[in-house]
A and B are shown apart, each in its own frame.
Chain A
């Protein structure tokens, strides 16, 4: 099976702009989670989508949003970018169903730089 894919891999944006990141999960996986990784804060949970519905959300401002499509592909959007949004954004998919968490498999990440 192909692994989790994320596009783009690298992105440079300017403060105030918005950005959309994409994630394609492993075939058959219905759960997609997003994480932000920074040197200072480490890995932090953004949100999880399951069957096109947001199931859980981390402690991030409303500028961070996401969605999931019927084919389980997911996008996350960050509006009004700030310098502090510079990070590696990781997507993970899981065969999570009926509350069972199962393990999460990560994509290679999107490195976002905000200037």
Chain B
């Protein structure tokens, strides 16, 4: 099975600091999409950012940016100026192969924001 791996079960960061969440993935496809989703305690999955594999430029959404290393199959999320509201589970996900497997998710990283 083609997998998505998040090696950090939990991360902690001080408010206003920067944190990077890691994600690696496995795929044999050339056309695929990568996403970061946030799931706060409410359990509502919220899309944070997306990256098309064919784009070399790293995606950015306000305080959130990614470091996409296609050859290394790495897709990390950087959160700048961390805020208390950023505390949540963060899931990395891959969509490929025409969606035969839907979104394939990693196990998640629990992000704690220290005030």
Contact = CB atoms under 8 A, between A and B. Distances in A.
Interface of A: 33, 35, 42-43, 45-48, 55-56, 58, 88, 90, 92, 96, 99, 101, 103-109, 111
A42 B108 contact: yes
Contacts, number: 57
Interface of B: 33, 35, 37, 42-47, 50, 91, 93, 95, 98-108
B33 A45 contact: no
Ranked nearest first, the 3 interchain pairs of A and B with the lowest CB-CB distance are A45-B102, A106-B45, A43-B105
A101 B95 contact: yes
20 contacts: A42-B107, A42-B108, A43-B91, A43-B93, A43-B103, A43-B105, A45-B103, A48-B102, A88-B43, A101-B95, A101-B99, A103-B47, A104-B47, A104-B103, A106-B37, A106-B46, A106-B47, A107-B44, A109-B43, A111-B43
B30 to A, nearest CB: 14
Given A101-B95, A103-B35, A103-B50, A58 B101 contact: yes
A55 B44 contact: no
Given A101-B95, A109-B43, A33 B103 contact: yes
A98 to B, nearest CB: 11
B43 A108 contact: yes
